[in-house]
Chains A and B, each alone.
Chain A
Amino acid sequence: MAAHTSRSVAKAAGSEAGPDAGTAARGPSRRTDGKAGGTNRPGLKRALATHWYAWAMVTPVVLVLGVIIGWPLVRGVYLSLTDATERNVGRTIGANHIEATYQFVGLDNYAAVLADPVFLQRLVWTVLWTVACVSVTFALGLGLASVLNREFKGRAAYRMALILPWAVPGFVSVFAWRFLFNRDNGILNKILDGGGISAVPWLDDPTWAKFSVIAVNVWLGIPFMMVALLGGMQSIPGELYEAAEMDGASPWQRFRHITLPGLRTVSMTVILLSTIWTFNMFPVIFLLTRGGPGDSTEILVTQAFREAFVTSPRDFAVSATWGVLILLLLMIFALVYRRSLRKQGEVW
C-alpha cells in the first residue's frame, strides 16, 4: 500500500513527478513514462486550465480556513501585543457603546510570561503528560487492533465495546470518571476497600491526580487509535501474509515485517495528531481536576483559559500570549517531526 500512499506526493517542488503520479491532470497518464501529465509551465491561464477542478474542490476548505481561522488568529496575535483585559476592551452595555482603550505594548506580555517560573513548570508537566498519554495510547491501541484484526467469534461485539469510550461525548465520560474517582463515595475506592486497601486520593493528591488525568485521557484516546490502526491493517493485502506464511514466517515475524511497515503512514499521522490533541487537551484536565489540586495538573492550555475566563479581571492579552506560545511550541514540534520523517526518506 505504501506505493499508493506516497503517490500524491511530489518528490520536489519542481515538475518532475514520480512514475507513480496519480491521475495526472490531463487525462490518464501512462504510468511508465515517468512524467506527470500536467507539467508546470509558467502562465496562470495554463495553470487554471490544468488545475481548475482541483482548486474548485479545495475552495470550500480554503474559505473556511481563511475567514474563520486566519482572521481570528491574526487578531489573537495582535491581542497578545496589547494590554487588553475585560475592563478596557470595547463593549456595548445596553444602548451605550464603550470604546476600547487598550494599548499596544509590544512584547511586554511575552517577557512577563517567560520570566515567570510558572511557565517552565507548566511546560515540563505538559510535555510529560503528552508523551505519557500518546505512547501508552498508541501501544494499547496497536495491541488491540492487531487482536481484532482476525476472524473469531464475537469480534463485532468486542469492537463495539472497545469503541464505546469514543462514542460517548467527552464531557459525559469525564463526569463518569469523576464519579468513579470520588474519594469517599467513588466505586473505585469502595472496591479497593473490599480488597483491604485504604482509599486512594485519586484527585486530591498531586501525584495521584497526574496519574488519574493520564489514565482517563488514555481511556478516551484508545478507540480512535484502534480504529485508525485497524483500518490501516485491513488495507494491507492478505497475499503478503499468505506468502510469508508459505515461507514459514512466525506470527511475530509477520507482524514485525509486514504489519508494522504497512502501518507506517497511518501511524505517523495518528501519532502526530494525537500528540497535538493531547498537548491541547482542555476538557479532561479542566473538568476532572480544574488544574488542581493546587495547580499541579494545570497544562499550558488550561492555564491560558484560566487567564481569560477564571481570573478577575479577565486578562485577554496574557491569555493570547500563552496561546501564541503554545502555537509556537507545536509548530517547532511539527517541523522537527517533519525533518525526522525526511531523514527516513518519507517526503511530505
Chain B
Amino acid sequence: MTTVTTNSAAAKTPAPVRPRGKRSPLASAGLHGTLIVASVIAVFPVLWVLLTSLKPAKHAISTDFVKEPTLDNYRYLVESTSFLTWFGNSVLVAGITTVLGVFIAATTGYAVSRFKFPGMKPLMWTLLITQMFPMAILIVPLYNLMGQLGLLNQPLGLVITYLTIAVPFCAWMMKGFFDTIPVEIDESGRVDGLNPFGTFWRLILPLAKPGLAVTGFYAFITAWGEVAYASAFMVGDEHLTLAGGLQTFVTQYTSNWGAMSAASVLIAIPAAFFFLFAQRHLVAGMTAGATKG
C-alpha cells in the first residue's frame, strides 16, 4: 500500500507517506513533549495540595516538595471536626443524584434522539435554556419552595435541586451518544418484536454504556462540588454536606492551610475514584462495528 521511508528522511521531507501507525522519531518526541507539558500543568496544582496536606501545619507554605511527612492534618480533621458526618451526607446526596439523573436523562435522550413527537423541539430548547438560568434567579424562590414542602435540611431537597442542574445537560449528552448508535439496531429489535421500551432497555442502553458513564460522572461531580445551594439549604452541623461544611471550616481556620489541604484531598479522592471507574467506559468506540455499514 505504501512505501517504507527511512527515519532520517522522514524527519526532513514534508509529509512522506508512512505506513499507518508509524511516526518519525521527531513527531513522536513532539507528541510526547506536548502531552508531558500539558499533563504537568493539569496535575501540578492538585499534587501540590496533596503534598501540602502531608506537611506539618507549621510548614504548610514551605516550598519543599516533602518536609517531615506526617498524617497529623488528617488525624486532626477526623478526630476534631464533623468531617465524617459531612462526608456521609455528600455521599448520600451525590449517589442518589447520579442514579436518578442518569436514568431520567437516558430516557429523555433516547426519545429525543429516535422519535419525532409533538413537543420535541420545544423540549430540546427548554433543556438548553435551563442551562442559562443563573443561580441568582432561582435560589431564593427555590428556598421558599423547599421550605413549604418541608425539604430544607433534607438530603432529598438537595437531590431534587441538583437534578435540575444535572439532568438537562445529561439529557443533551445522552442524545448525542444515542445519535452515534446506528438506527439499524433499533430497527432490528423492532423487527424481532420488541416494543420501544424493550429496544431501549435491552439493546440500546447496553451499547450506550460509555455515554452512561460520562453522564453519571457529570451528575456526580455536579452534586459533589456544588457550593451555593448546599450552603443555603442545609444548616446545622449534622446536615451539612462537604461543600457547606468546609465553608464553616474556612471561616474558622482561615490560615490553617494544612487542615484545609487535608480536607481537600479527602474530598477529591472519591471524586477521582468514581472517575477512574467511569474512565474505563469513556472510549465511545464500543458501538463501532455493531452494525455492518
Interface residues of A (CB under 8 A from B): 1, 4-5, 7-8, 10, 13, 17, 21-23, 25, 27-28, 36, 38, 40, 47, 50-51, 53-55, 57-58, 60-62, 64-65, 68-69, 71-73, 75-77, 79, 143-144, 147-148, 150-152, 154, 158-173, 175-177, 179-180, 182, 185, 187, 190, 219, 222-223, 227, 231, 234-235, 237, 242, 245-246, 248, 250-252, 265-266, 269, 272-273, 276-277, 279-280, 282-283, 287, 300-301, 304-305, 307-308, 316, 319-320, 322-324, 326-327, 330-331, 334, 348
Residue tally, chain B, CB below 8 Å to A: 112
Complex A-B: 17 CB contacts under 8 Å: A23-B114, A23-B187, A38-B116, A54-B117, A57-B111, A58-B123, A61-B171, A69-B130, A75-B141, A144-B35, A162-B38, A164-B46, A164-B272, A169-B271, A179-B52, A280-B133, A282-B228
A73 adjacent to B138 (CB under 8 Å)? yes
Pick from B179, B224, B288: contact of A8, CB below 8 A. B179
Question: How long is the Cα–Cα vector from A342 to B163 in the complex, in angstroms?
Answer: 31
Say whether B61 faces chain A, with CB atoms less than 8 Å apart: yes
Q: What residues of chain B lie closer than 8 Å to A51, measured between beta carbons? A: 115, 117-118
Tell me whether B114 and A144 are in contact (CB under 8 A): no
Of the listed stretches B68-76, B78-86, B275-283, name the one at the interface; the rest are far from the partner chain.
B275-283
Q: Which of B21, B48, B107, B144 contacts A176 (CB 8 A)?
A: B48
Is A179 a contact partner of B257 (Cβ separation < 8 A)? yes
Return the 8 tightest CB-CB contacts between A and B, nearest first.
A323-B137, A169-B225, A304-B136, A72-B141, A161-B39, A185-B61, A75-B141, A57-B111
- Known pairs A180-B45, A273-B131, A327-B133. 12 more at Cβ < 8 A? A8-B114, A57-B200, A71-B141, A160-B279, A163-B275, A164-B272, A172-B225, A175-B49, A185-B61, A248-B17, A265-B176, A308-B140
CB distance from B178 to the nearest CB of A (A): 9
B4 at the interface (CB under 8 A from A): no
Q: Which residues of B contact A187 (CB under 8 A)?
A: 48, 63
- Inter-chain CB contacts under 8 Å: number: 315
Residues of B within 8 A of A38 (CB): 116
Interface of B is mostly: helix
Are A176 and B112 interface neighbours, CB within 8 A? Answer: no
User: Is the CB–CB distance between B214 and A227 below 8 Å?
Assistant: yes
Q: A69-B164, A72-B145, A176-B46 are in contact. Are A324 and B137 (CB under 8 A)?
A: yes
Residue B172 is within 8 A (CB to CB) of chain A in the complex: yes
A167 to B183, CA, bound (A): 33
The chain B residue sitting closest to A170, CB to CB, is B225
Q: Which of B15, B39, B136, B260 contacts A158 (CB 8 A)?
A: B39
Cβ A69 vs Cβ B133 within 8 A: yes
- Is residue B98 within 8 Å, beta carbon to beta carbon, of the partner chain? no
Question: Which B residues touch A10, using CB under 8 A?
Answer: 116, 120-121
Is B57 interfacial (CB-CB < 8 Å)? no
Given contacts A171-B225, A190-B63, A269-B172, contact A76 B21 (CB under 8 A): no
Q: Please pick, from A151, A235, A300, A319, the residue contacting B140 in the complex, using a CB distance under 8 A.
A: A319
B112 touches A47 (CB 8 A): no
Chain B residues near A162: list those with CB within 8 A. Answer: 35, 38-39, 42
Chain B residues with CB below 8 A from A36, complex form? 116
Q: B154-184, CB under 8 A of A: which get 1 and which 0? A: 0000001101100111011001110110110
CA–CA, A75 to B28, complex, Å? 58
Whether B88 is near chain A, meaning CB under 8 Å from some CB there, is no
| B268 interface residue per 8 A CB criterion | yes
